[in-house]
Amino acid sequence: MVADSNDARIRVRLRSSEIGATDRQRQTIRGLGLRNIGDSRVLGKTAAVVGMIRKVAHLLEVEDVNGGR
Flag whether 53 is in a domain.
yes
Flag whether 1 is in a domain.
no
Structural domain that includes position 49: 8-66
Identify which of 59, 61, 60 has the alpha carbon closest to the alpha carbon of residue 22.
Answer: 59
Flag whether 3 is in a domain.
no
pLDDT in tens, 4-45: 556 799 999 999 999 999 999 999 999 999 999 999 999 999
Flag whether 33 is in a domain.
yes
Q: What is the pTM of this model?
A: 0.83
State the CATH number of the domain containing residue 52: 3.30.1390.20
Total count of domains within the chain? 1
Q: Where do the H-state alpha helices sit in the chain?
A: 23-31, 47-55
